[in-house]
């Protein structure tokens, strides 16, 4: 079952988890591997399960993806912060 977000923003109101995650990765202009490691701090195979729609996105990841879609530079800011630590 694919969950759809219920936001007021018309572009995101009917988007599935895999579509939202894909849009965040594309908007950030990063590879899926880089997005998984540098932005989400997860193993890439977990990201692959989310992209395939096999598992729903956790609420926090979904919220982060929405923020990245709305402001793609955020992904690079998060990645830069992770590298500093």
Do 5 and 13 contact (CB within 8 A), yes or no?
yes
Q: Residue 14: its pLDDT value, please?
A: 77
Structure tokens at 17: 């988890």
Total-model pTM: 0.80
Q: Residue 2: its pLDDT value, please?
A: 47
The residue ranges of every structural domain in the chain are 17-84
Residue range 31-85, pLDDT digits in tens? 999 999 999 999 999 999 999 999 999 999 999 999 999 999 999 998 888 776 5
What DSSP character marks residue 57? P
């Amino acid at each position: 079952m694919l969950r759809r977000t219920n936001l007021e923003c018309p572009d995101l109101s009917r988007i599935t988890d895999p579509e939202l995650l894909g849009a965040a990765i594309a908007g950030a202009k990063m590879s899926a591997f880089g997005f998984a490691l540098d932005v989400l701090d997860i193993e890439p195979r977990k990201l692959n399960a989310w992209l395939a729609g096999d598992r729903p996105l956790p609420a926090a990841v979904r919220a982060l993806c929405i923020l990245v879609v709305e402001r793609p530079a955020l992904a690079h800011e998060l990645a830069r912060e992770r590298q500093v630590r």
